[in-house]
Structure 1
Amino acid sequence: MTPTSLLTDHYELTMIQAALASGHADRPCVFEAFARRLPDGRRYGVVAGIGRALEGLRDFRFGEEELAFLRETKVVDERTLEWLAGYRFSGDIWGYAEGEIYFPGSPLLVVESTFAEGVVLETMILSMLNHDSAVASAASRMTAAADGRPCIEMGSRRTHEGAAVASARAAYIAGFASTSNLEAGRRYGVPTMGTAAHSYTLLHEDEREAFANQLESLGLSTTLLVDTYDVTAAVELAVELGGPELGGVRLDSGDLVSQAHEVRRQLDGLGAKDTRIVVTSDLDEYAIAALQAAPVDAYGVGTRVVTGSGHPAAGMVYKLVSRANDEGVMEGVAKASKDKSSVGGRKYALRRRNAGGVAQAEIIGINEQPDDDGDDRQLLVPLVEKGEVVAATDAQTAKEHHEMARAELPLKALRLSHGEPAIPTRYLDDWS
């Protein structure tokens, strides 16, 4: 076990120290994670990182090394260190299932606990949700644009090594078929794939030697990279050596649309009608959409998916929305800051759908559950009960949930043009 307790901010612990001193540390509270808005022009977001956060919760412990560091650096006093030494989250957490679609104001995570137990989780939860949801939201747009053609995540070298593994998981949840990252395969069961880079071709005296050796070692199902020198000559050589059973060729530069058409005609003319064309080279959702008119069989996406396609953080926040008053009665609390306001009260959420199962609105009740008119879907599910994780944390379950949730969106949600959120967010007293 690797403790996750120091994946946090200094002030989370100093708040606990002050709350212990004032007697407020054990006051019952409700915290909520939500996004005030979607990235500019986006029509929906995708919840990811829930599974990683729940696994992180299991390992959220202050062991001897962590306590020694805090003592040596005088972050908090001895009373607080003693409290941290015995920390075990014992509350309840509700949330949107991983892979779910979200909109502005969606109560993605509801943490019911004492103040101290809940506040210390803020940074760990937000760091995972903000990163993974940004990647998954971009990845979902890409897989929607690909319209059934597989996408391969291959952005490990374009981000931090830890983020690379999390990105591969998040992209897989949002519909990517596989990743190049082996640790994501080992840790999360994401299918992995890869063949060869330009350096492999350049290692050899010529392309013929390189292709022949790759085919001999990896078999006819391999994909040959054909744009190191001359694409036309390389494709002809690839089919000469691999024959009509050659698995695929990859294009990584140039005008990919016109090149794909040219290569498809050449492959078909050489009898390799089943040989796939894989394209890479700084693709994003817009490039993938443009390539839909080309005879492309798969897309390899790197930088743009692991950086959220221009929006590397999802903008989620974690706020106290309810607390017990001096009489022990829960009451809503909220920020009123300009541009950073929040809505007080414990939230409940429902996806309003029409008779055909198409999403119409996000309905949020404050301190009460919205009524289901028979076609709707409750969004908050139990994740943690009395400190014990009760929800699935694997990527495959989240992937299946995302496929279901995206399928119920109206078609306008999948447009890549700038627009408003695909459905409105309505608080219960606003809905009619």
Structure 2
Amino acid sequence: MSFPWAKHYEPKSGFMKYVDSRLPIPRLVYNSLGAGYPVPKNLNYFYNFGVLAGVALVIQIITGIVLAMHYAANAKIAFDSVEHIMRDVNGGWMMRYMHATGASFFFIAVYIHIFRGLYYGSYKPPREVLWLLGLVIFLLMMATAFMGYVLVWGQMSFWGATVITGLFSALPLVGETIQTWLLGGFAPDNATLNRFFSLHYLLPFVTLGVVILHVWALHIPGSNNPTGIDVKSEADTVPFHPYYTAKDFFGLGVYLTIFAAVVFFWPNALGEVDNYIPANPLSTPAHIVPEWYFWPFYAILRAFTVDFLFIPAKLWGVIAMFAAILLLFFLPWLDTSPVRSNNYRPMAKIAFWVFFADIILLAICGGKPAEEPWVRLSQLASVYYFAHFLIILPILSRIERPLPLPNSISEAVLKRQTNVGAPASQQLPGAGIAEMPATGRAQPAE
């Protein structure tokens, strides 16, 4: 976003002037991540997770390239090649654990990033394209993670590939053709490994390209903030560097410390025991389950147990699973409230936390066997998932009475700083905030 008060890059030395006139990378970095990029002054630590997700992606790409040098995409030796990396390649065990654990940490960062966007309304105008690009990244992550999980060629990898690709067979007319094309045959085998390995290697670079578009789209409207109101003056912003680079580096230090602790002390905590057994087409695991970050959607898939309207339950499950993700693409037009942040929407805030609890319940159900009471809980949680987006948010957008919005980001920051630690009798009641009009819309004071 172009601010009149933003600083402009001016190269000092003759060499930098020469570089800037021919390849203005320093100018690009300065305007995107430096003092030339003003950012709202009230961003909290939840805004660190976009940077953390980017670092996680870089870790995945680097470790993935190293692992690809030693991996063999052949059904007879794929599992053994992974063991070779773990036991015989210098530092191979660390690369493998960083890659496997890094996938989980990548999803943790992205999930927190998404929920932060949901809470503060970062999907609303003028940031719809930013939100849509983020969802494209999320879909690419899911596809990449699934294919990478299959490459280990353990028991859970093989049967996970069998079950997930088998979902496409539920599609009428073209389902079995799509399944056969994905597998390269009628069951997971060499062709499957070659397809998945090539795509698993390629998609992270596609994801990186979409990340660049995502960051580009962010710099057009500028960052959202916890108040959800727009920047109105220079007093509402601070330069990205050094204020938020310092904040991001602190968050990165905490993130990498936890990441290193898991890699070195609990590397198998997030994995499945059955995946340390070589794939055996003749032995089905007692409980087939995907990685934890797919559990909410897996629970929605399994929630359908009865045929309805002449449509098989399996097809209903597939439709619901994909709809649960695609529904997020329409969120900017489902939630039409002009107030972005749930900090000023009491009813929407309650709905958000109920929805968050619903996702946790779906995740728990997705990791459990397909038996009672988990199936029934999955069904109830799935109903609420869709009701939240299709019924609750649209209704709240029309009937909710938001709290008054501050006139500016600076006013909100100063009011909070004044109120912290002050006796109740001395706390500011909200000077400068307009009274709520009869329409129920929050309006700034003139």
Per the TM superposition, whether the score is higher than 0.5 is no
More helix by share: 2
TMscore range, shorter length: under 0.3
TM-score where L is the length of structure 1: 0.24
Structure with more contact order per residue of length (Cα contacts < 8 Å, sep ≥ 6): 1
More strand by share: 1
